[in-house]
Amino acid sequence: MKNYYHEFHIPVMGTGHSVDTPIRVACLGITSVISLVDDLLLEKIRKYYSEKFNLPYSRIPAKEKDGRAKRITAYLEAVQEIVCIKMDRIKKQPFFKINEKSKYFDLLPEKSPLKKAYKKLLDIKEESKRSAFENELTDKMKPGSIDVNIMVKVDRINFDSNGKSLGDEFTDAAAALRGYAKSSLKSAIVLSAGFNPRIYSYMSQFRDFYRDQTGQIKKKIILKVSDFRSALIQGKFLAKRGLEVYEFRIESGLNCGGHTFASNGILLPTVLKEFKEKREKLASEFQPLIKKYYKKMGWEYTESARNDTPLITVQGGIGNNGEVRRLKEDFGMDLTGWASPFLLVPEATCIDNSTLELLKKAGEKDLYLSDVSPIGVPFNNLHNTGSEIWTMKKVAEGNPGSPCPKKILEFNTEFTKLPICLASRQYQKMKLEEIDKQVLPEMEREKHKKKIVQKTCICNHLGNGALIKLGISKEENSPQSICPGPNIAWFNRIYTLKEMVDHIYGRGPSLVPSERPHMFAKEIEMYVDYFERQVNNCNWSPLEVNTLKEFKKNLEEGMNLCLIIAQKQPFEGENLASIPPCVEKQKARLNSIYSDFEELINKQPDNLVLLQPQRSVESKQKSAQTI
């Protein structure tokens, strides 16, 4: 079902880092993903690019009825129009010149039939034959897909001025879906961060997600998943509504950028192995359900559709072509996703200069898994960003928290009737006052307070770097957050787009040193770190204890699989030799952590009573939805 020329895509990065990536690279045939979380950011970016490309612009006010959906539709239409303008300009350029047209073909993978045809053109001497072939190649040029991303459980309920809910169709995720569905884009939507049955059902209201009379789907569905079981469950849910999954996008639970959704110790190679072994089950389970739905609706399910199977792709921590080949040749992956390295490619991403300097210099110690996100999910972070400095300054001034200008992550009702954000000044003030009233040792009190005030306004700060870069906002008024994966520690300068694409395809010198650990080795280390983190935060409930025991078992099985992989012949540039010493070291760490954990278990009462102060049952019932 692959319908574009390149063998990689650029995944979503924050709300702002890839906000205009399609404008930058789609005309060169590269597919990328825009976040639809922050519609107010999209409106500002639309105004900027409308002026730059002389497009008509009419502001959609913040309080406009169904404004979120309208802003998203308007932005996507503007992006598509700009990509078409740039694509037309490139197509009109001559061959045999150093220009964007030659760049388009130079970037293509060597195995691409279009790349091979281009090389053939360069050898044709006869002008009449050459002219006809030039026209043929130009006609085959097409832009990369303008894909979008919705975090389906970042789904704030919206209220009218009287505090009454506007209804399911006006939650944030539903409005974002509607905004995309009403656009004229022919692309794909990436659904991530969990399973939201209500949003999945809502998709069935839009005909663009189904096949037309020619068998084509205008708007394809991509599910970001962490394991095969999740893929099967979500795929079946959609199939019962006639909706097909175009691609299952597997991501490492920890070795990635942004929010992390760690598995219970199940490493990426284990997940990939199961997908490879059970891949055929996906189409065979889904198609009967899809055909049944089409029959019920009186629609034709074309013969060509019966041969389509979902793509299986992978992303998270990939660092060189040797690892790409391992993922494709050992595990049968169709495509790979490359995110964090592109943060250092200004031709592809939109990041302010100060943050770029931090990224260039960032070593492994500068990158950390943080608790700053208000949605309560670990968040890959970078030290010394504008956001971190701003947040610490507010705490030092005795005025922690954000004024919460966008209110995107308002999910908590611990103190209020209507939801508020954990990073808001309002919530932090009330929570700190509550902690001060509790009878606690001073060290324990400060520990609880630190957990509260570290929450940061990421929904606003993640977009500021793009606004600064485009000259829309001033840096002194716009603290910047960024969320790279740990892999970026091995990329240490600004790169051109061609350098990065050549690196991905294994053309020319590697951009990372030979001593860089294999992506599988890095993931092992991160999961042992995460296990230690979970043990340290354990409240000793039976469920937690059993979960940690299962985590250790899964992690050990994954390490053993990695040792089997390490015995194979490495592909060029692939550091398989880093895996065995990593496994040896991390197994020892894991056993040591678990030994201490068992000692603590044995010291607990038989019923493993909870040690940490807990909120009342009534307070728990009022707590807001979380991911």
pLDDT tens-digit series, residues 293-351: 999 999 988 887 878 889 999 999 999 999 999 999 999 999 999 999 999 999 999 99
**pTM across the whole model:** 0.92
Q: Using pLDDT thresholds of 50, 70 and 90, give the confidence band for residue 554.
A: very high
Classify each residue of 482-516 as buried b or exposed e, where b means 16 or more C-beta atoms within 10 Å of its C-beta.
Answer: bbbbbbbbbbbeebebbbbbbbbbbeeebbbeeeb
DSSP H/E element including 75: helix 67-92
Other CB atoms within a 10 A radius of the CB of residue 280 amount to 9
CA angle, 540 then 626 then 467, to 5°: 125
Tell me the residue type at 318: I
- Residue 541 reports pLDDT greater than 50: yes
pLDDT of residue 303: 80
pLDDT tens, position by position, 213-228: 889 999 999 999 989 9
Q: Using pLDDT thresholds of 50, 70 and 90, give the confidence band for residue 353.
A: very high
Tell me the residue type at 552: K
Tell me the residue type at 409: L
d(Cα 216, Cα 367) in Å, to the nearest integer?
43
Q: Using pLDDT thresholds of 50, 70 and 90, give the confidence band for residue 160.
A: confident
pLDDT of residue 616: 33
Half-sphere exposure of 49 (CA within 13 A, CB side): 27
| Phi, psi (deg, nearest 5) at residue 146 | -95, 85
Q: What is the mean pLDDT of residues 464-472?
A: 97
User: Using CA of residue 352, residue 153, residue 341, residue 75, what is the dihedral sign?
Assistant: negative
Distances (CA, A) of 418 to 278, 399, 411, 476, 542: 45, 23, 9, 32, 33
Question: Are the C-beta atoms of residues 578 and 521 closer than 8 Å to each other?
Answer: yes
d(Cα 393, Cα 371) in Å, to the nearest integer?
18
Residues 6+ away with beta carbon under 8 Å from 265: 527, 531, 550, 551, 552, 553, 554, 555, 558
d(Cα 477, Cα 463) in Å, to the nearest integer?
13
Other CB atoms within a 10 A radius of the CB of residue 86 amount to 19
Q: Where are the domains of the chain?
A: 8-342, 365-481, 517-627
Candidates 9, 45, 112; CA nearest to 465 is 45
d(Cα 560, Cα 267) in Å, to the nearest integer?
11
Q: What is the mean pLDDT of residues 604-617?
A: 45
Q: What is the mean pLDDT of residues 145-162?
A: 87
d(Cα 347, Cα 107) in Å, to the nearest integer?
13
Question: Are the C-beta atoms of residues 147 and 188 closer than 8 Å to each other?
Answer: yes
Q: For 312, which DSSP code?
A: E
pLDDT of residue 134: 92
Q: Which ranges in 401-481 belong to alpha helices (H)? A: 425-437, 442-453, 458-469
Q: Which ranges in 518-578 belong to alpha helices (H)? A: 519-536, 542-566
Other CB atoms within a 10 A radius of the CB of residue 576 amount to 20
Q: What is the DSSP string of 257-301?
A: SSB----SS--HHHHHHHHHHHHHHHHHHHHHHHHHHHHHHT---
pLDDT of residue 621: 32
Mean confidence (pLDDT) of the chain: 92
Q: Using pLDDT thresholds of 50, 70 and 90, give the confidence band for residue 367.
A: very high
- Quote the tokens at residue 54: 């002389």
Place of tokens 């001073």: 442
d(Cα 32, Cα 36) in Å, to the nearest integer?
13
Beta bridge mates, 148: 34, 189
pLDDT tens, position by position, 495-521: 999 999 999 999 989 999 999 999 999
Total residue count of the chain as it appears in this document: 627
Question: Are the C-beta atoms of residues 472 and 44 closer than 8 Å to each other?
Answer: yes
Question: Are the C-beta atoms of residues 349 and 18 closer than 8 Å to each other?
Answer: yes
pLDDT of residue 620: 33
Question: Long-range CB contacts (< 8 A, 24+ apart) of 471-478?
Answer: 472/44, 472/45, 472/48, 475/352, 475/354, 475/386, 478/386
